[in-house]
Copies of this chain bind each other. A is one copy, B any other.
Amino acid sequence: MREIDMSKYQIHTDLIVDTIKKAPFIDGIKEQTYTKNDIYVSNIEIEKDLDIISKKKGFYTTIYFDDVTDTTNCNNVKEIFLKELKKILEKSSIKDTDSCLIIGLGNDKVTPDSLGPKTIEKIIVTKHIYDLTNTLEQGYRITSKLSPGVMGNNGIETSDIIEAVINKTKPDFIIAIDALSSDSISRVSKTIQITTTGLSPGSGIGNKRKALTKETLKIPVIAIGIPMVVDAVTIVFDTINFMTQHFSYNLKNKNNIKNKLIPSSKINYLNDNPKPLSKEETTYLLGAFGNLSDLEKKSLLYDVLTPIGYNFIVTLKEVDFEIEKLSEILSYGINNSLHKIEKQN
A residues adjacent to B (C-beta < 8 A): 1-2, 4, 109-113, 121, 125-129, 131, 143-147, 149, 151-157, 160-161, 163-165, 167-169, 185-186, 188, 205, 229-230, 232, 235-236, 238-240, 242-243, 246, 258-259, 261-270, 282-290, 292, 296, 299-301, 303-310, 312-321
CB distance from A183 to the nearest CB of B (A): 14
Give the number of copies in the complex. Answer: 4
**Residue of A155, A266, A287, A312 most packed against chain B (CB within 10 A):** A155
Is the Cβ of B168 less than 8 Å from the Cβ of A161?
yes
Q: Which residues of B contact A156 (CB under 8 A)?
A: 127-128, 144-146, 165, 169
Specify the chain B residue showing the minimal Cβ separation from A281: B287
Do A125 and B110 touch (CB < 8 A)? no
Complex formed: what's the CA distance from A283 to B268 in Å?
28
Decide if A316 touches B312 in the complex (CB within 8 Å). yes
Residues in B whose Cβ lies below 8 Å from that of A163: 168
* Nearest neighbor of A145 in chain B, beta-carbon distance: B154
B288 and A285 contact, CB distance less than 8 A: yes
Most central of A147, A188, A235 by chain B CB within 10 Å:
A235
A155 and B149 within 8 A (CB): no
Contact B111 A301 (CB under 8 A): no
Contact A238 B131, beta carbon cutoff 8 Å: no
Q: A239, B236: Cβ atoms under 8 Å?
A: yes
Known: A165-B161, A308-B270. A205 touches B317 (CB 8 A): yes
User: What is the bound-complex CA distance between A271 and B287, given in angstroms?
Assistant: 26
Asked if A242 and B310 make an inter-chain contact with CB atoms under 8 angstroms apart, the answer reads yes
For A1, the chain B residues whose CB sits under 8 A away are 259, 261-262
Assess the A317–B315 pair: CB atoms within 8 A.
yes
Are B284 and A286 touching (Cβ within 8 A)?
A: no
10 cross-chain pairs, A with B, having the tightest CB-CB distances, nearest first: A125-B155, A144-B155, A287-B287, A164-B164, A127-B155, A314-B314, A164-B168, A313-B317, A286-B287, A236-B239
* Cα distance, A162 to B75, chains bound together (Å): 38
- Contacts A1-B262, A155-B128, A156-B128 given: A319-B236 contact, CB under 8 Å? no
Alpha-carbon separation in the docked complex, A310 to B268 (Å): 11
| A174 smallest CB distance to B (angstroms) | 14
Q: Is the CB of A155 within 8 A of B151?
A: no
Q: Contact: A315 with B319, CB < 8 Å?
A: yes
Q: Do residues B242 and A305 form an inter-chain contact, with CB atoms below 8 A?
A: yes
Given A314-B317, A320-B111 in contact, is the A308-B269 Cβ separation under 8 Å?
yes
Out of B152, B185, B320, name the residue touching A310 (CB < 8 Å): B185
Q: Which residues of B contact A152 (CB under 8 A)?
A: 128
A305 touches B239 (CB 8 A): yes
